[in-house]
Structure 1
């Protein structure tokens, strides 16, 4: 079985880890991660972090695309 959760650009690993912890902090889950560790987080908690990461990445991509569009004008 292949792992679809791998980072496609290895240079982005640190940024992705930072984003993961930033989102967890914003959701109030950072203390839980410190106490229990990632492996003991519930599927719901980890899914909430992942879903919010995707929302932020989409927002960042949209902003970057808008800035590129504005720079071409």
Structure 2
């Protein structure tokens, strides 16, 4: 069964896109994304951004548990 790429909460899509660009900026690839788009990024760069996003989401969740 194919997974849907649509977020469960539509408002979450904007928040995730914003987070993605913040992390891309932290990693120094945001300017390349703005000029060429995500489709031209290497899988390594995209993986780095995604990995940092997951790490940040886990940290935020752990903060709510305290």
Q: How does 1:1-73 map to 2 (within 5 A)?
A: 2-3=2-3, 5-66=5-66
Give the total of aligned pairs: 66
User: Which structure 1 residue ranges, 4+ long, deviate > 2 Å from structure 2?
Assistant: 3-11
**CA displacement at 1:35 relative to structure 2:** 2.0
Distance across 2 between alignment mates of 1:63 and 1:56:
11
Select the structure of larger CA radius of gyration. 1
Distance across 2 between alignment mates of 1:57 and 1:26:
16
TM norm structure 1 = 0.79
